[in-house]
Structure 1
Amino acid sequence: MIHVIRIIILVLIIGLWESLTASGILNPFIFSSPSRILKTVGNLSASGQLEEHIATSLIETVAGFILGTAAGIVIAVILWWNPAVSKIMDPYLVVLNALPKTALGPIFIVCMGAGTGSIIAMTLAISLIVTILNVLNGFNHTDPEKIRLMKALGAGRLQIFLKLVLPANLSTMVNVFKVNIGLSWVGVITGEFLVSKAGLGYLIVYGSQVFKMDLVMTSVVILALCAAIMHIIIGFIEKIVRKRFGIQK
């Protein structure tokens, strides 16, 4: 029933959007319409550009997602393992998290050139610190009574981490994966706004510059679909993890 209601809401939104633009209540030049978006998709696909731009953004997003998530978890483990280092680094992590990452864009471009490297670096800058803070917070809030019990039974730090801390935070890490999907897309699109010759971000910038709002809205819709598909994939992984380790929601 939940899935049916979701589909009904989506159909109503699309139908309302189409009817409002067709009747002139919404300006179709600015807001486009589902039918115009489908026509734009057909034109892009016929010219072979659609697949190129989607593939470019997907590759950059997946690369940034994997690197940012993996590096963030590894650093969080290191900080949990060394409480003194964690306390020293805490204010710096907070400041880096608060720093607007777009301000680092020109630095990435100068250091890494105007290409894919700069875009992935922007994605890392946006997702890395969030991953570290969320995962480390989960590690630090693992049940202290269970940790004391394991220490009393002679367990070492590695055993505590592998047998208690890591399993207890699998759900936290899955949630971090979900958050990082959106952050990775934000990083890629922001990077493509600054420097790119292909990708969905490039299409959005190009469309706005030449006042082709159909192209802009088409890129936004495709972006939303790609993010939704990645979110569904992470959802399947979450179900497997919960079933494998008996984790309740």
Structure 2
Amino acid sequence: MIFSKSSLQIKFWQLLILSSVLITWHLASRSLNVAFFIGEPLIVLSRLVDWLFINRDVYIHLGVTLLETCLAFFIGTVGGTACGLFLGLSPRTSIVLDPFIKSFNSMPRVILAPIFCVWFGLGIWSKVALAVTLVFFVVFFNVYQGVKEVSPAILSNAKMLGANRSQLLRTVYLPSATSWVFSSLHTSVGLAFVGAVVGEYLGSSMGVGYLILQAEGTFDINTVFAGIVLLTVCALSLDALVGFVEDKLMVWRPKNDDTQRI
């Protein structure tokens, strides 16, 4: 079947899928044996309402998690972009460091969490450090690839026009890497949340991850799902913010045609 990709039709199908999932979840949770494992959507909603509007005790935990996430996102993005540009423009250095970068990237990040707790303590910085290791490499490899993908013809033309190294960086390499950077940022938002929450799991007295861990300890599956929903909404909001900034900065990029057919 062929659907017109108008925004209204897309929203309709998205809402239909979401409604179907929620209705199926509600019907399945009518059985107590099933509800023990998947929770009940109405109770999950009541937990969220209680957290956000009645007791309002979740905001301090949410603030801690968001602070860890934003710090990790910023540090990882800046560091990954800088290192990606440097190694992309320094082929010899990249060849020398290549095995070390691949080794560190292949290392399971979770095993670093106890080390970061020893180095930075149980405060926010151990969680930030863990999340930075997740964000950094995603941004780094995208920027590095973006620099390597610069057209030789464009470089030759810029050099013929007398562009020096700094001008090439500003007018050729950075614009080429920008689309790769924003592509990586959409993935990095979720990874920053993952790093922060995993860090809170392993040692914390604050944060949404801590609330979820406490609920798991008492087999309160509804509170666990409430925490998951809250984190998901926050991650989607940050991703939408990244998309908004992307649209403002990359005005030269052609827009998708809503009249296309799929």
TM-score scaled to structure 1, two decimals? 0.93
1:194-226 deviations in Å (ceiling 9; x for gaps): 111111111121111111111111111111111
- Indicate yes or no: 2:45 matched with 1:43: no
Deviation, 1:47, is: 2.8
Superposition deviation, residue 78 in structure 1? 1.8
> Aligned ranges for residues 238-249 of structure 1 at < 5 Å?
238-243=246-251, 246-248=252-254
Map 1:226-237 → 2, pairs under 5 A: 226-237=234-245
Partner of 1:57: 65
1:21-60: CA deviation from partner (whole Å, max 9, x where unpaired): 12x1871122112101012123334333221221111111
The alignment status of 1:31 with 2:38, answered yes or no, reads: yes
CA deviation string 1:85-112 (max 9, x = no partner): 1221122111111110111111101111
Distance 1:81 1:98 in 2: 23
Letter in 2 for 1:247: R
1:57/1:188 contact within 8 Å kept: yes
Q: Secondary structure at the match of 1:196?
A: coil
| Counterpart in the other structure of 2:260 | none
Question: Partners of 1:25 and 1:126 in 2: how far apart?
Answer: 38
Answer yes or no: is the 8 Å Cα contact 1:242–1:248 preserved in 2: no
Partners in 2 of 1:157 and 1:83 — Cα distance?
A: 15
Is the 8 Å Cα contact of residues 64 and 124 (structure 1) preserved in structure 2? yes
Tell me which residue corresponds to 1:12: 20
Q: Aligned-pair RMSD on alpha carbons?
A: 1.6
Q: Percent identity, aligned pairs only?
A: 28
2:89 touches 2:147 (CA, 8 Å); kept in 1? Answer: no
**Secondary structure of 2:122 counterpart:** coil
Asked whether the equivalents of residues 44 and 225 of structure 2 are also in contact (C-alpha less than 8 Å), the reply is yes
1:18-167 map, 5 Å: 18-22=26-30, 24=31, 27-45=34-52, 46-167=54-175
Q: Structure 1 residues 27, 58: closer, same or farther in 2, change over 3 A?
A: same
- After superposing on structure 2, the runs of 4+ consecutive aligned residues of structure 1 that deviate more than 4 Å are none
Aligned residues of 2:88 and 2:145 also touching (Cα < 8 A): no
Q: TM-score, normalised by structure 2?
A: 0.89
Q: 1:192 aligns with which of 157, 180, 200?
A: 200
1:41 and 1:50 in contact (8 A); partners too: no
Q: Of the candidates 188, 213, 221, which is equivalent to residue 213 of structure 1? A: 221
Q: 1:203 aligned to 2:208?
A: no
Tell me the distance in 1 between the aligned counterparts of 2:16 and 2:244: 23
CA–CA distance in 2 between the matches of 1:83 and 1:200? 43
CA distance, structure 2, for counterparts of residue 25 and residue 15 of structure 1:
16
SS at match of 1:155: coil
Distance in 2, Cα, partners of 1:11 & 1:234: 27
> Which has more helix, going by share of residues?
1
Deviations 1:90-142 (A, max 9, x none): 22111111110111111101111111010001011111122111111111111
Count of residue pairs brought into register by the alignment: 246
Q: Deviations over 1:144-200 (max 9, x none)?
A: 111122223322221111111111222111111111101101111111111111111
Which one-letter code corresponds to 1:127 in the other structure? V
Decide whether the 8 Å contact of 2:123 with 2:204 is kept in 1.
yes
SS at match of 2:253: coil
| Distance change >3 Å, CA 165–CA 198, structure 1 → 2 | same
Corresponding letter in the other structure for 1:79: L
Q: Gaps (5+ residues) in structure 2? A: 1-8, 256-262
